[in-house]
């Protein structure tokens, strides 16, 4: 089944403790992206990647890092999480350029930073 897999689904952590949210897709998509979803603000893009070793900032990249060493994986790293990063996070992938085709989303990761 074609899908984007995120882990974990839920995560509660403390301020400053580094964490990684994994994202993997099995559709051989070039484009991958991370979004966060907050009430009243909709979905905002954090980082995206056009292909292996090619990443760039989205609208809200502060406090996040990403890497794209393999085509299928696009982990989101929070080096020193803070409470304002409490949010619902989504990984998405798409064939070719980001926006000309529909996105496939993961099921989401609900992160709480205390």
Partner 1 sequence: SQQGEEDPQALSIQEGENATMNCSYKTSINNLQWYRQNSGRGLVHLILIRSNEREKHSGRLRVTLDTSKKSSSLLITASRAADTASYFCATHTGTASKLTFGTGTRLQVTL
Shortest CB 45 distance to partner 1, Å: 5
Nearer to partner 1, 40 or 69 (CB): 40
Answer whether 104's CB lies under 8 Å from 6's CB: no
Rounded Cα distance between 9 and 106, Å, is 10
Rounded Cα distance between 78 and 16, Å, is 9
Nearer to partner 1, 48 or 74 (CB): 48
Closest-CA residue to 49 (of 92, 9, 111) = 92
Shortest CB 94 distance to partner 1, Å: 9
Shortest CB 70 distance to partner 1, Å: 20
Length of the chain, please? 114
Nearer to partner 1, 16 or 61 (CB): 61
Contact positions vs partner 1 (CB under 8 A) = 4, 31, 33, 35, 40-43, 45, 48, 50, 56, 58-59, 88, 90, 92, 97-108, 110
Nearer to partner 1, 85 or 104 (CB): 104
User: CA-CA distances (angstroms) from residue 58 to 55, 74, 103?
Assistant: 10, 14, 16
Shortest CB 97 distance to partner 1, Å: 7
Answer whether 80's CB lies under 8 Å from 66's CB: no
């Amino acid at each position: 089944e074609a899908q984007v897999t995120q882990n974990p689904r839920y995560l509660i952590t403390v301020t400053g403790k580094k964490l990684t949210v994994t994202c993997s897709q099995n559709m051989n998509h070039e484009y991958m992206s991370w979004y966060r979803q907050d009430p009243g603000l909709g979905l905002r893009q954090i980082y995206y990647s056009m292909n292996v070793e090619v990443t760039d900032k989205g609208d809200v990249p502060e406090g996040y890092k990403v890497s794209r060493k393999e085509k299928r994986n696009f982990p989101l790293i929070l080096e020193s999480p803070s409470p304002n990063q409490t949010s619902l996070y989504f990984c998405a992938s798409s064939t070719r350029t980001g926006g000309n085709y529909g996105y496939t989303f993961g099921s989401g990761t609900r992160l709480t930073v205390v």
